[in-house]
Amino acid sequence: MASHLLRSLGLLSAVALIPITTAALAVTDTDTLREIDQFADVFEKVRAQYVDKVDDKTLIEGAISGMLGALDPHSSYMDSREYKNLQTQTDGFYGGLGLSVTMEDGAVKVIAPTEDSPGYKAGIKAGDYITDLDGQPLYGATLDEAVDKMRGNPGTKIRLTIVRPGRDKPFDVTLTREIIQLKPVKWEVKDRVGIININTFTNRNTATDVRAAIVGIDKALGAKPLGYIIDLRSNPGGLLDQAIDVSDVFLDHGEVVSQRGREKGDIERYYAKPGDMANGLPIIVLVDAGSASAAEIVAGALQDQKRALVMGERSFGKGSVQSVVPLSDGAALRLTTARYYTPAGRSVQEGGIDPDIQVPQLSDPDYKSRPRIREVDLRRHFINSAKVDDKVLEDDGKTDPRFAASSTDLAKRGIDDYQLYYAVQTLSRLGKPAGGGAVKASRK
């Protein structure tokens, strides 16, 4: 047993997984040592008996990935290439099709297309499955292999075969690769309402761009708008500090969010600084099933502080915080280290943010048949006590005459985004400001 134990500890020390010290051994129970010993036995047997020779690095990285994958859906191991890709995304500039993808049961699944990217313009939607690239099946390939095949020189074409839940047959989409430059924030003016579309919080300039959007809207109008719409739909989240800073743009006091870690006293609270750039004007926040993490922090902060009306669908429900821990070889861990809570002490884990006014996206012809994938649907997600009902919005079209229009009816009226239309109409009902007139829509 002693020789097995020494071999196990030596193996772990060699790959720098866990710094085993005398103090650590003193508190390590026998069962843990037995599991470490079993890991070493498996490692040696695979090296000696696997049909093909496999290098130690592949085995160790696989073991680390399996360790983190056993925890929750958001903890993971990133090799040096994946970590560099993450850093590139936070800088807001990368090459590709503009598709954020993951691997689910051996298939490549679209998390979300980046707005104005080739994938977005081609109509690829969150929840689509990519089964083939240029006629070659992807099943069995790793996520890295699939991403590498989708990337290429700008101007080159690639054909994707898409399986979309709710459609009877797969269909092909041909895309032209581009250099993708993330634009975290876009703005426009409609009926004297300022619309701020925040696409992501992964970019370090998100809050700065939100402030610039407010200045741009005011300049385009020559006066203050009736109010602002903050569009967080299909925003998968990103950096915690950007979510806090964006919330602070519209709050002049109070708590924004708190995060609570492993220990009882491990609580950090973040507060708004004085100064509301929107000067107290009405705000509507749009969310849907794709609004996650940092987007939910913003929606929850403005909702709890009675600063905004939240409208749309129930959000994704990701209430955990991930820290990126760099490793010595250029790789990194994405590790769940805390849960976050809204100012009222609510955890959005599983339950998400419930809108104050539920508005279905009636302009989407696939709205009722498209499945909503939320945190509660992910394997090994953290459990919360909140109970949610996904059928509420499906019933709205039957019980509320406001939501009785079909996508065809709306298209005839020139309405291609019913949720945004409804939000603009809500703010417009407040009336035109003195001296105001029609303003031509502008976009940045």
Q: What is the set of active-site residues?
A: 293, 304, 318
Distance CA 428, CA 430 (A): 5
Q: At what angle do helices 206-221 and 240-250 cross, to 10 degrees?
A: 30
Residues 6 or more apart in contact with residue 8 via CB below 8 angstroms = 33, 36, 37, 39, 40
The partner residues of 284 in beta bridges, in order of sequence, read 229, 309
Coil, strand or helix at 321: strand
Contacts of 264-272 spanning 24+ positions with Cβ under 8 A: 266/338, 268/338, 270/244, 272/247, 272/248
Distance CA 198, CA 201 (A): 8
Where do runs of H (alpha helix) occur along 222-264?
A: 240-250
Q: How distant, in Å, are the alpha carbons of 72, 168, 322, 348, 376 from that of 334? A: 11, 37, 6, 20, 20
End-to-end CA distance of the chain: 68
DSSP annotation of 425 reads H
**Residue (of 308, 415, 292, 407) closest to 350 by Cα position:** 292
